[in-house]
């Protein structure tokens, strides 16, 4: 249960560069009225960023070719159906985790 | 703090601290599994339990903490670790920019609080709330954020303790919780848009897949996510009717 001064400085450095991008927009939008086109652009961010995060984990970038991460892709299919069917976050997560656990049992 | 005299039932329900906690619960499995996994990996990367605890308190970002371990154990210089952490978390700038316009009526100090505790998951839950109810409440945000933050710190620390005793603790499919959750949040966001809008979005997602695939040849995943999001959102605005 120890740490060093250098490690503490490193962690504080990382904390600062993580904190700034999170907080600056909250200060910025109080003082500046965002133009209409920026607001319309921001409306696309949720779907874009969520689909990017999902798609990125379905690809496998190790090796010389980018391929599918087959295990994630196969587990994602029933997960997606449950999400569309139930529209429930917790049911989707539970089905996803169980599907992946079963797949790992065989592969 | 501000709603003691609020008798309006529906307003109270939409902006209550306890509703924020409840809306956070479905995401907790994600935080717990990733947090515990991080704690275990932290130990195998020669971090102490105290350092794992401090990292989850100070940085509070899953992917950045994992990359921190990877670079630290590889002996990377501190400058490289800090710059990489910055790039990995730069997507939060876009997320904060998306959420912040809904909370400008609160004080600067509270807004700094909202921003400090923004993560991929709380962002996902908050934009889904905006999509459904067209507004966000500060108490609800605090309930959501604090539940996620405390669960994360506890999970990472417990993971560190587990890692000390069981160095090879396997996570049975639990790491998939994160992907499943983002998938569900994506579906929830899409289910709220109209039929013509949905077609537009589906085309954008197809474009996103192609663009990401190409980008992954040249840049690491977290950077590909950031670049592809900026490009596809811009195309989205340019092609909307």
From CA B65, how far away is CA B81, in angstroms rounded?
Answer: 10
Tokens representing residue A104 in the block: 């790992």
From CA B238, how far away is CA A41, in angstroms rounded?
Answer: 9
* pLDDT digits (tens), chain B, 241 positions: 443 444 344 455 678 999 999 999 988 988 888 888 788 878 878 899 999 999 999 999 887 888 788 788 778 889 888 988 888 888 899 999 999 999 999 999 999 999 999 999 999 999 999 988 889 999 999 999 999 999 999 999 999 998 888 755 455 676 787 788 889 989 988 987 888 899 999 999 999 999 999 999 999 888 888 899 999 999 999 998 7
Indicate the SS3 state at residue B170: coil
pLDDT, tens digit, 9 for 90 and up, residues A5-35: 999 999 999 999 999 999 999 999 988 888 8
Average pLDDT (A30-58) is 89
- Interchain CB distance below 8 Å, B209 and A96: no
Q: Which residues of B touch A103 (CB under 8 A)?
A: 173
pLDDT, tens digit, 9 for 90 and up, residues A77-94: 999 999 999 988 888 988
User: Taking CA atoms, what residue in A is nearest to B81?
Assistant: A14
Tokens representing residue B240 in the block: 């909307």
Supply the pTM of this predicted model: 0.78
**What is chain A's Cα-based Rg?**
20
Is the pLDDT at A48 greater than 80? The verdict is yes
CA A93-A97-A102 angle, to 5 degrees, is: 150
What integer pLDDT is reported at residue A7 of this predicted model?
94
H or E stretch covering B238: helix B221-239
Is residue B27 within 8 A of residue B149, CB to CB? The reply is: no
Residue located via tokens 């993560």: B119
From CA A107, how far away is CA B208, in angstroms rounded?
Answer: 29
From CA B167, how far away is CA B41, in angstroms rounded?
Answer: 9
Contacts for A74 with CB less than 8 Å, ≥ 6 apart: A103
Tell me the angle at which helices A5-31 and B91-99 cross, rounded to the nearest 10 degrees. Answer: 40
Contacts for B25 with CB less than 8 Å, ≥ 6 apart: A90, B147
- Interchain CB distance below 8 Å, A49 and B91: yes
Average pLDDT (A63-69) is 91
Q: Which residues of A touch B132 (CB under 8 A)?
A: none
Indicate if ipTM > 0.90. Answer: no
From CA B176, how far away is CA B197, in angstroms rounded?
Answer: 30
- DSSP code of residue B134: S
Size of interface A-B (CB pairs under 8 A): 266
- Interchain CB distance below 8 Å, B64 and A14: yes
Q: Which residues of A touch B183 (CB under 8 A)?
A: 54, 76, 79-80, 83, 92, 96
Q: Which residues of B touch A53 (CB under 8 A)?
A: 120, 182, 225
Contacts for A69 with CB less than 8 Å, ≥ 6 apart: A57, A58, A59, A60
- Greater model confidence, A53 or B99: B99
- Interchain CB distance below 8 Å, A39 and B58: no
Is residue B186 within 8 A of residue B125, CB to CB? The reply is: no
Quote the percentage of chain A above a pLDDT of 70: 99
User: Taking CA atoms, what residue in A is nearest to B94?
Assistant: A45
For chain B, give every domain's residue range.
Answer: 10-191, 193-241
- Interchain CB distance below 8 Å, A44 and B188: no
From CA A38, how far away is CA B237, in angstroms rounded?
Answer: 9
- Interchain CB distance below 8 Å, B176 and A54: no
Could you tell me where the beta strands, DSSP code E, fall in chain B? none
Is the pLDDT at A106 greater than 50? The verdict is yes
Question: What's phi and psi for A67, nearest 5 deg?
Answer: -125, -175
Is residue A31 within 8 A of residue B219, CB to CB? The reply is: no
Is residue B180 within 8 A of residue A95, CB to CB? The reply is: yes
What integer pLDDT is reported at residue A1 of this predicted model?
54
CA distance B66 to chain A (A): 12
- Interchain CB distance below 8 Å, B97 and A42: yes
Average pLDDT (A45-71) is 91
Give counts: helices (H), strands (E), chain A.
4, 2
- Interchain CB distance below 8 Å, A2 and B48: yes
How high does pLDDT run on average in chain A?
91
Strand partners, A59: A68
Is residue B181 within 8 A of residue B27, CB to CB? The reply is: yes
From CA B99, how far away is CA B107, in angstroms rounded?
Answer: 15
From CA B83, how far away is CA B65, in angstroms rounded?
Answer: 13
């Amino acid at each position: 249960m120890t740490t060093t001064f250098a490690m503490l400085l490193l962690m504080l450095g990382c904390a600062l560069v993580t904190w700034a991008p999170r907080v600056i927009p909250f200060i910025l939008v109080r003082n500046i009225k965002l133009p209409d086109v920026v607001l319309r652009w921001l409306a696309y961010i949720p779907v874009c960023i969520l689909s990017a995060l999902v798609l990125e984990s379905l690809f496998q970038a190790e090796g010389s070719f980018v391929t599918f991460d087959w295990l994630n892709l196969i587990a994602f299919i029933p997960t997606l159906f449950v999400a569309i069917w139930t529209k429930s976050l917790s049911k989707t997560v539970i089905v996803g985790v169980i599907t992946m656990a079963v797949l790992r049992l065989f592969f | 703090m501000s709603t003691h005299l609020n008798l309006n039932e529906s307003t109270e329900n939409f902006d209550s601290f306890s509703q924020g906690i409840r809306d956070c619960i479905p995401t907790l499995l994600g935080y717990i599994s990733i947090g515990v996994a991080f704690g275990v990996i932290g130990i195998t990367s020669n971090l102490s339990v105290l350092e794992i605890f401090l990292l989850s308190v100070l940085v509070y970002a899953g992917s950045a903490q994992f990359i921190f371990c990877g670079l630290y154990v590889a002996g990377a210089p501190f400058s490289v670790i800090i710059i990489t952490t910055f790039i990995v978390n730069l997507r939060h700038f876009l997320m904060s920019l998306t959420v912040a316009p809904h909370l400008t009526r609160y004080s600067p100090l509270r807004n700094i609080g909202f921003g400090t505790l923004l993560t991929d998951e709380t962002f996902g839950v908050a934009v889904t709330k905006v999509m459904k109810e067209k507004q966000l409440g500060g108490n609800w945000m605090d309930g959501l954020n604090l539940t996620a933050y405390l669960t994360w710190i506890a999970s990472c620390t417990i993971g560190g303790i587990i890692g000390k005793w069981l160095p090879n603790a396997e996570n049975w499919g639990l790491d998939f919780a994160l992907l499943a959750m983002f998938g569900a949040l994506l579906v929830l966001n899409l289910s709220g848009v109209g039929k013509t809008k949905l077609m537009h979005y589906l085309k954008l997602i197809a474009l996103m897949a192609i663009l990401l695939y190409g980008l992954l040849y040249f840049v690491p995943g977290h950077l590909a996510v950031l670049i592809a999001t900026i490009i596809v959102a811009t195309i989205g605005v340019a092609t909307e009717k």
